Chain A
Amino acid sequence: LGALRWHFLLQSLEDLQKNLCQLGSCLLVIQGEYERVLRDHIQKWNITQVTLDAEMEPFYKEMEANIRRLGEELGFEVLSLVGHSLYDTKRILDLNGGTPPLTYKRFLHILSLLGDPEVPVRNLTAEDFQRCRPPDPGLAECYRVPLPVDLEIPLESLSPWRGGETEGLQRLEQHLTDQGWVTSFTKPRTIPNSLLPSTTGLSPYFSTGCLSVRTFFYRLSNIYAQAKHHSLPPVSLQGQLLWREFFYTVASATPNFTKMAGNPICLQINWYEDAERLHKWKTAQTGFPWIDAIMTQLRQEGWIHHLARHAVACFLTRGDLWISWEEGMKVFEELLLDADYSINAGNWMWLSASAFFHQYTRIFCPVRFGKRTDPEGQYIRKYLPVLKNFPSKYIYEPWTASE
């Protein structure tokens, strides 16, 4: 994990701690290997129940199985519930004959058979905690949320994104009003501003669990319901959630999902090994301002717009450098605030044309695609200050400018 991701996580935990305190409870953060921690604390604190999100990634599925075994051995109950995704992915697999849908359309069809996801549970109140023992003040200090200095990362995060449910909920409200859906339903055609750090972006909050996807789903559904007199907005407005679900489903049922070798859905491609070029891509030194600006924003802020992700992913793999998508995936995992096992690997495979094929493959040109999106090059000027005063005509391809 990169420093920005750690900061986001710590901020999220701080926020959770604060919110729990307001309800009369508290958050205890125990550091260590999970089995060791459970063995040490089960008897000490008389723990009778361990709860966790139903898991889909191999590492966490194994963790859940181990915890259940421990539960039998040490005498505690294990409760796991579907919370991280809209649906129980096992049900999606069952409806598709035991295998994951590999096209989005097929996936949507299966979802239509399942009906709407379960409604989100109601919010917690102080009443819910009244039957609980008040927290021991000594414990709270001992098991506080770690500070940046404890993890040996820089003290401040320079990213405009702050972790936590509070922040997430604020953004949710703003997202729903700012989209202007209540007034009009047209999709913006050119989107230079969307490339800038979004004040309404939600993806890191979903991936860290600060926001509930089901809450968002139902808020969106309400808006559609209210707007009956307008023509319905495209499904893609809810697309962020559904694509996420799509990748979770495929990943949960595909061995070696994050690798090319041994991955049944992934084309085995003879990628180049080129450490130097990979490094240049990673450190924003490719010489293509569009690509370099995106990689700079990624490193500085931890979030880039999805079209920007398409551009750099295509550039690294099938578009230009022909370097393996696994390398790109690792870089995103380090730097992207919303990096996620299933979504990261799935998208990298998609963009590198390793899986999930279209009829005709799409390649994003590192010059033209950026020009289309932001003709004046404002995004480039912001993240590559060295090009701040460069004429728009040449800013995407500075090598074409005269001396």
Chain B
Amino acid sequence: MKRARQKVVVENEAPQTSQKSKKQRTCLYGSLFGESDLHASVDWGSLPHHVILRVFQFLPLVDRARASSVCRRWNEVFHIPDLWRRFEFELSQPATSYLKSTHPDLIQQIIKRHADHLQYVSFKVDSSTESAEAACDILSQLVNCSIKTLGLISTAKPSFMNVSKAHFASALTVVFVNSKSLSSIKVDDTPLDDPSLKVLVANNSDTLKLLKMSSCPHVSPAGILCVADQCHGLKELALNYYILSDELLLALSSEKHVDLEHLRIDVVSENPGQVEFHTIKKQSWDALVKHSPKVNIVMYFFLYEEEFDAFFREETPVTHLYFGRAVSKAMLGRIGMNCPRLIELVVCANGLQPLDDELIQIAERCKNLTAMGLGECEVTCRGFIEFVKMCGGRLTQLSIMEEVLIPDNDYNLDRLHLEVSKHLGRMWFPDMMPTW
């Protein structure tokens, strides 16, 4: 199951910043009007706009909104475009959501007065279709905008998938056509389709730098190829494996194309054994790495153990590997053989056979490995220590669940953590789950 994103809501910053702001106001006041007036009655409404603007920039929206009702000048400042460049619309249904929603009146105000000013926009929606539809409605009204970054974020279920394709496409089209300078787009888990991508490309090919579209089932290999062919400034791309093609990699490696920095590929199967996976030719990967030697190639696998056969039969330049479900022992063996650029490896689960040999081979051949996470598998203590010894201090992140480690005749867990700490050059402990 694909993991949903979470965001921490930072609260209660207001009190500190308000105090800071108050102090600033008093100091500025002192220097503007002279010492003797400090004790006279204060006319806060006469502060210059730029001063109030500076103060407002420290305040969260809720406090700014309150401040805007104080007097006309403060209200004017509240509406200065600079304060409306960045906005995150939070859309939830109160009956079913734990989290708060952006007030509808505020949304109306923004559309009426600030649509032109918006440049960095995101929509956080809960799992209800109504919220996703509301997001699309707002997008449809941003006609005079010149948006640079757009993010559609489903905080729970992928609710955008329940919006009709037509509604979604027309909302996106409004933004794609009118913005003409979009540089970053995050539309994972949406009904994005090929025609919409064409519109995106037709209007923003010079400026597009980042496109994240994992789990967009209506996009075809041809659709994304169109983007790679035309958007030569594209540096970051996230997509699903089924639309990755040799042609795409070659297009991203063409002379006109900038260096690719980050390529994320999600490999997903819905039912065991049902999906066959096409292979990417080694030459295509080679071309990509030759063109962009520093590129991070990140692959997230959500497959069952029997489905890995097609992967890593030849050298593959992947740098970050995450196995979200299980991974077969054979696959881990092939990773050791064929992934020399590997930097980070995370294994969620494996079987009951110890993975000592596979780990040692990875230590030997993946000389760039600096981070490793192991959960729900088996490794003997001696095998693990051997692995750590071979990697040495280059392992800046090493995370293993305590119960993965099998004590043997040479080592138990207490001795192990001392040995490992010695080889890593820092204090290290395995991860523990609480004994409930």
Contacts and interface: CB of A to CB of B under 8 A. Distances in A.
Interface of A: 104-105, 185-187, 189-190, 231-236, 239-240, 243, 246-247, 260-261, 267-273, 306, 309-310, 318-320, 322, 324, 343, 346-347, 350, 353, 358-365, 368-369, 372
A234 B1 CA distance: 34
B189 interface: no
B166 interface: no
Interface string B20-55: 000000000000000000000000000000000000
B126 A372 contact: no
A141 B95 CA distance: 53
Given A243-B435, A246-B434, A362-B375, 19 more contacts: A104-B432, A105-B429, A185-B407, A187-B403, A234-B402, A236-B402, A236-B432, A268-B8, A270-B92, A273-B96, A306-B436, A350-B433, A359-B397, A360-B373, A361-B3, A363-B348, A365-B325, A368-B326, A372-B376
List the 8 closest A-B pairs by CB distance, nearest first.
A306-B436, A359-B399, A360-B373, A234-B413, A270-B155, A239-B435, A309-B436, A243-B434
Interface string B399-428: 101110011000011110000000000000
A362 B9 contact: no
A355 to B, nearest CB: 11
Interface in B71-102: 92, 95-99
Given A358-B399, A365-B349, A270 B97 contact: yes
Interface of B: 1, 3-4, 6, 8-9, 92, 95-99, 126-127, 155-157, 325-326, 346, 348-349, 352, 373, 375-376, 378, 397, 399, 401-403, 406-407, 412-415, 429, 431-436
Contacts of A271: 98, 156
A320 B434 contact: no
Contacts, number: 112
Nearest to B414: A232
Q: Is the interface of B mostly helix, strand, loop or mixed?
A: loop
B414 A189 contact: no
Nearest to B397: A359
A131 to B, nearest CB: 42
B320 to A, nearest CB: 12
A99 B372 CA distance: 31
B127 A270 contact: yes
A285 to B, nearest CB: 20
A271 B155 CA distance: 9
Given A186-B407, A236-B435, A239-B435, A260 B98 contact: yes
A310 B99 CA distance: 26
6 contacts: A232-B414, A233-B412, A240-B435, A365-B325, A365-B349, A369-B376
Nearest to A343: B436
Contact of A358 (B6, B99, B413, B431): B431
